[in-house]
Chain A
Amino acid sequence: MPQLIRVRPTKIELVKLKRRLSLALRVQKIVKDRLSILTMEFLQTARETVESKRNLLDEMSQMYRALSIAAGYHGYVALEKELLASKADVAVTTGLRNVAGVRIPALEFKEPAKSMRGYSLLETSSCVDHAAQLARKSLKAIVELAELQRGLELLGMEINRTKRITNALEYIIIPSLQATIHYLAMKFEERDREEKGRLKRVKVLLARKE
């Protein structure tokens, strides 16, 4: 049962309560809109995350297979020697994007301008090239998955918060305001009826005196 707000039973208070209810309904509308958008984005991000994870696993398994073949062809020591020289920094553009008030990190893998491999093309075979190419693709997939997973976490947290607010408005604040408005309206009606009865009584008394 909704709780009543203790207010003075005056018409001014009734007007104030009605205004408050109107405000609460507006807040509820905005919060619900936001919740529906966040849920839509969350579901979409979840789908993309699953797809991205599957892609990453495929690419990683292909990359390890290619690397094993390259290692088998050149030998571990020779391959390691070549790969030592091919170390390079990974460039990722980072920023934020805003989804209905939630700041989600946006990451973009920056492709190197030139394909500087670092290792000698004369002393290595196409197996190493192939493995390097697949490794680059895997890196790109890792960056993409990182962005999606963080987005998923942040959206989930915000959905929880927004849901709590929606529930508070829907089940506590708005019902208590409605119940109080109803209670005051009933009280005023009752007072009107009493007033009418009193007037009738006074009229009868005056009539008797005359």
Chain B
Amino acid sequence: MPAQYSGDEGQSRYERMLQGYLSGELRIVNAGLPRSQKTLAVLLREEYPHLLCHDGSTQLIKRKELDYLASMLDAGEQEALLLPMLIELGGDQSQATILCAGEVEEKVISTILNMPLRQGQPLSRTPAVPPVPTSAVPPASTTPAGLPVSTRERETITIYRPQLALLRKRLKTTTQYLFSQKSSAPDPSLTNSIE
């Protein structure tokens, strides 16, 4: 008989702790998300470029990064680029997805990563579709450096871990991580009722 510990009176407490932790962890990791995005042009005009976050704090945007982004975009594109760019972590840990509203993001990312983005599907203006985890499927093509080519499909750009590091190195304050619950969907076999 395996060892037992008393959990009778702690049962609900235990469950509450786990639930509290899940919501707490999601709140902590997503606390830095902005209340609203600002365009690059607007941020360039501000004396101290900043964004308001969900937890009420402000996030400083470095002027150096804004100048760098402005140097690769024309005036019209500066009005279209929304910052910070949101990086959603995918189902598996090898890739991440950048949520984007237009093609300016595509230009920025392909310039920073110094590689073209492979067209996954015809571009359309539909809402963002969650990426399908493709951990088992190797990337279709690679760059001369051996990195997999990123893909752009339906309002999202999929990049891989080495590219994410490269992107974060250049754009520290103008990108933001987004942790979603969908990547941690529950196993249906564990949520079923009495069999």
Q: Do A and B originate from a single complex?
A: yes
Chain A contacts to B: CB under 8 angstroms: 1-7, 11-12, 14-16, 18-27, 29-34, 36-37, 40-41, 44, 48, 93-101, 103, 106, 108, 173, 179, 183
Chain B residues touching A, majority SS: mixed
Considering only CB atoms, which chain B residue lies closest to A180 in the complex? B7
Give chain B's interface residue range (CB within 8 Å of chain A): 35 or more
Cα A2 to Cα B4 in complex, Å, equals: 9
Q: In the assembled complex, which residues on chain B have CB atoms less than 8 Å from the CB atom of A33? A: 89, 93, 179, 183-184
Partner of A108, one of B29, B64, B181: B64
Beyond A6-B4, A30-B25, A30-B26, 6 extra complex contacts between A and B, CB < 8 Å: A6-B8, A7-B11, A34-B179, A101-B30, A106-B60, A106-B173
Cα A21 to Cα B29 in complex, Å, equals: 22
Considering only CB atoms, which chain B residue lies closest to A173 in the complex? B18
List B residues 51-109 near A (Cβ within 8 Å): 53, 57-60, 62-64, 89, 93
List B residues 156-171 near A (Cβ within 8 Å): 161, 164-165, 168-169
Are A25 and B186 closer than 8 Å at their CB atoms? yes
List B residues 1-54 near A (Cβ within 8 Å): 2-8, 11, 14-15, 18-19, 21-22, 25-26, 28-32, 48, 50, 53
Q: In the assembled complex, which residues on chain B have CB atoms less than 8 Å from the CB atom of A41? A: 168
Partner of B2, one of A2, A7, A97, A101: A2
Known: A3-B5, A7-B8, A96-B57. A30 touches B184 (CB 8 A): yes
| Chain A min CB distance to B179 (Å) | 6
Q: In the assembled complex, which residues on chain A have CB atoms less than 8 Å from the CB atom of B5? A: 3-6
Chain B contacts to A: CB under 8 angstroms: 2-8, 11, 14-15, 18-19, 21-22, 25-26, 28-32, 48, 50, 53, 57-60, 62-64, 89, 93, 161, 164-165, 168-169, 172-173, 176-177, 179, 181, 183-187, 190-194
Sample (29) of A-B pairs whose CB atoms are under 8 Å apart: A1-B2, A1-B3, A3-B4, A3-B5, A4-B3, A5-B5, A12-B194, A18-B191, A22-B191, A23-B22, A26-B184, A27-B18, A29-B184, A30-B179, A30-B184, A31-B25, A33-B93, A33-B179, A40-B165, A44-B168, A48-B169, A94-B60, A95-B50, A96-B59, A97-B59, A98-B176, A106-B59, A106-B60, A108-B60
Chain A residues touching B, majority SS: helix
